[in-house]
Structure 1
Amino acid sequence: MKKIIPIIVLCVVSLSVQSQEKTKDHSEKVQTLDSTIKTLYAVISGEKGVERDWTLFKFLFKPDAKLIPSGKNKEGNYKVRYMKPDDYIKSSGKWLVENGFFEKEIHREVDIFGNIAQVFSTYEAFKSESG
């Protein structure tokens, strides 16, 4: 049986098709807002033992982008953390491979004003797709 953990995360990032690492062009994965968000979920998801494509992950963000996950701290108080994409890789990369982890989007709300989009994405988290 799959263990489902419903989580709501507000993540403020600057998505971009400008790569920090020019080794591979991933532009086809970020043609639309929808494809960009699907790529973000896909790149951090994978079974136990499967390495993540961190070059693709970093491609999704401008150099000064911040991820801002929220949740309870050890004392039970709600807090936010400000992380660069590299901070996320350092803090979660090894854990994702050792444990397996999948995110499946279950709801999305998008507000667009000019060339700025604010996305609220709700997802379920699983340790394995197979259960």
Structure 2
Amino acid sequence: MSDTAAAIEQLVTDAYAVISGPAGAERDWAAMRALYWPEARMTALRPTGSESCTIDEYIAGKRAFLTDNGFGETALVNRVEVYGDIGHAWSSYDGAWTEADGTTGATRGINSFQVRRDQTGRCRIHSLLWLVETPACPLPADMETRR
């Protein structure tokens, strides 16, 4: 694995870690912002349409949910490709949280991380596009199991 591919693997790991934590634990939003380019976009594709936001809009909209319910998300399988100063990580994920009534919620899907390397050689996320798994759109078999 190249140094850049390894850096992208770590960036993906860090992106999952920064939004994950137990209920009541404030996330390190400065650390999250540092993983992304300032103009980065985050876009969720849903059966009802898409929702796109900046990093600050994501934090404003998800802060209470992530902190109040606890939330953990980890990679199942990452596929990383690099060409020059751009990279891509196709990352299946598994996530869970606790609802106010104590029941557990769960999610899986695929995150598509587009990554750019800056002049100093540091990789940051340029954009993130994700799709939650549904019965009509299950994870591909080779992206289901943590390796």
Q: Return the match for 1:121 from 56, 79, 91.
A: 91
State the alpha-carbon separation in 1 of the partners of residues 17 and 9 from structure 2. Answer: 12
- 3-state secondary structure, aligned to 2:37: coil
Counterpart in 2 of 1:44? Answer: 19
When the two structures are aligned, how many residues end up with a matched partner? 94
State the alpha-carbon separation in 2 of the partners of residues 122 and 87 from structure 1. Answer: 24
- 3-state secondary structure, aligned to 2:76: strand
1:93-104 to 2 correspondences below 5 Å: 93-104=63-74
Counterpart in 2 of 1:70? Answer: 45
RMSD value, Cα:
1.7
Q: What are the superposed Cα offsets for residues 4-25 of structure 1, whole Å, 9 maximum, x if unpaired?
A: xxxxxxxxxxxxxxxxxxxxxx
Residue 61 (structure 1) shift: 1.1
State the alpha-carbon separation in 2 of the partners of residues 99 and 35 from structure 1. Answer: 26
State the alpha-carbon separation in 2 of the partners of residues 115 and 86 from structure 1. Answer: 25
Identical aligned residues as a percent: 29
Aligned amino acid, residue 88 of structure 2:
Q
Greater mean alpha carbon deviation, residues 50-59 or residues 31-40 = 31-40
- 3-state secondary structure, aligned to 1:68: strand
- 3-state secondary structure, aligned to 2:41: coil
Bigger strand fraction: 2
- 3-state secondary structure, aligned to 1:40: helix
- For structure 2, the 5+ residue unaligned runs are 1-5, 99-103, 105-147
User: Quick one: higher RCO (CA 8 Å, sep 6+), 1 or 2?
Assistant: 1
- The question of whether the paired residues in 1 share the 8 Å contact of 2:8 and 2:89 is answered with no
Residue 113 (structure 1) shift: 1.4
Moved over 2 A (4+): none
Greater mean alpha carbon deviation, residues 92-101 or residues 111-120 = 111-120
Counterpart in 2 of 1:110? Answer: 80
- For structure 1, the 5+ residue unaligned runs are 1-30, 74-78
Q: What are the superposed Cα offsets for residues 63-113 of structure 1, whole Å, 9 maximum, x if unpaired?
A: 11111222223xxxxx22221000110110111011110001101122221
Output the TM-score relative to the length of structure 1.
0.66
Residue 44 (structure 1) shift: 0.1
